[in-house]
Amino acid sequence: MKIALYQGPGLINDPAGSFLLLAEKASQAALEGADLLILPEMFLSGYNIGPDNALKHAVTPEGLAPAQDIAAAQKIALAFGYPELVGDKVANSAVLIGPDGGILLNYRKSHLFGDLDRAMFKAVGTEFPVAELGGFKIGLLICYDIEFPEPARRLALAGADIILIPTAQMQPYEQVARHVLPARAYENQVYTAYANHSGDDDGLSYVGLSSICGPDGTVLAMAGLGEDMLFAEFSLDHQKAVRAADPFFTDRRPALYGPIASY
């Protein structure tokens, strides 16, 4: 499977423009032979837009039809973040759309980040779903989720081979991009793709540094500070070899881990 990752500033408070940008980037990735394109957190509306705009632009997954059409037209899977309307609440969500346009996964950020997230979103998500694509099992997390070891571990225990992480990672948190992502890939023996914004956004300065990592913790591709598109190949055979060489999931001792789920 060939994966593409788009890092860019995106468009703020402009879902119609964002769908056009999505079509452009999907076309570009498909031309390069990519099977899957991942884009940042809240790609559809911009991230730092405040609660009123988050609610204004929030849609149910049915509102993602233009993205489903793009995926089907370009025969490429798409993963990106958007404000999801859940009843009268807004969730910080991410979707994985298959190359036939069908929605494969919808994930709601379970770990909200500070006042920024909490002003806009409710943590209505409690599920860590996994779906299959091209022989790989894929899970989604969003930004701050990956800074905790537990959500990625849950996905790996549910069989995930790939974890896709749309993000909006700002200064001063470069350690996450530089060290936490390779560590998550290594410890869970999964592929990771961490797609960040670039540029500034109403006082936030994004660190860029989007990355794609392999199941042995190798950084396969990493962006700099600015707009970029990354590519990498994912191999099930390589992943199987890594897992056979170091059987982390056999060597775990879950009977010792009770307190992690208790407090």
Closer to its own copies by CB, 178 or 238: give it: 178
Q: Which is nearer to its own copies, 62 or 115 (CB)?
A: 115
Q: Which stretch binds its own copies (CB under 8 A): 15-23, 73-81, 176-184, 193-201?
A: 176-184
Count of positions on this chain that bind its own copies (CB under 8 A): 44
- What residues numbered 127-156 form the site for its own copies, per CB under 8 A? 128, 144, 147-151, 153-154
Question: Rounded distance, CA 39 to CA 147, Å?
Answer: 19
Please list, in sequence order, all residues whose beta carbon lies within 8 angstroms of the beta carbon of residue 223, skipping any fewer than 6 positions away: 5, 7, 196, 198, 208, 209, 210, 211, 230
Residue number with CB closer to its own copies (203 or 253) = 253
Q: Which stretch binds its own copies (CB under 8 A): 60-68, 109-117, 196-204, 235-243?
A: 109-117
Contact status: 41 vs its own copies (CB under 8 A): no
Decide if 33 contacts 2 (C-beta within 8 A).
Answer: yes
From the list 84, 143, 147, 213, the catalytic residue is 143
143: annotated active-site residue: yes
Distances (CA, A) of 123 to 60, 65, 86, 146, 185: 16, 24, 11, 15, 25
Please say if 41 is a catalytic residue: yes
Residues 201-220 touching its own copies, rule: CB under 8 A, are: 216-218
CA dihedral sign, ordered 108, 114, 117, 119 = positive
* Token pair for 59: 């849609």
- Looking at 157, 199, 221, 233, which residue binds its own copies (CB under 8 A)? 157
CA 208/CA 196 separation, integer angstroms: 6
Closer residue to its own copies (CB): 164 or 180: 180
- Closer by beta carbon to its own copies, 126 or else 203: 126
Q: 3-class DSSP state for residue 186?
A: helix
Q: Which of 2, 24, 32, 41 is catalytic?
A: 41
Does position 110 bind its own copies by CB under 8 A? yes
Q: In terms of CB distance, is 224 or 257 closer to its own copies?
A: 257
Instruction: Give dist(CA 182, CA 51) in Å, integer.
Output: 33
| 213 is an active site residue | no
Question: Which is nearest to 92 in space by CA: 136, 135, 131, 143?
Answer: 143
Omega prior to 172 cis, within 30 of 0: yes
Which of 179, 202, 224, 241 touches its own copies by CB under 8 A? 179
Where b means 16+ CB within 10 Å and e means fewer, 98-132 reads: bbebebbbbbbbbbbbeebbeebbbebbeebbbbe
Element at 244 (helix H, strand E): helix 236-245
Report if residue 60 touches its own copies, rule: CB under 8 A: no
Q: Please, which of residues 214-253 interact with its own copies by CB under 8 A?
A: 216-218, 248, 251-253
* Chain residues that interact with its own copies, rule: CB under 8 A: 110-113, 123, 126, 128, 144, 147-151, 153-154, 157-158, 175-176, 178-180, 182-184, 186-187, 216-218, 248, 251-263
- Which residues does the annotation mark as catalytic? 41, 109, 143
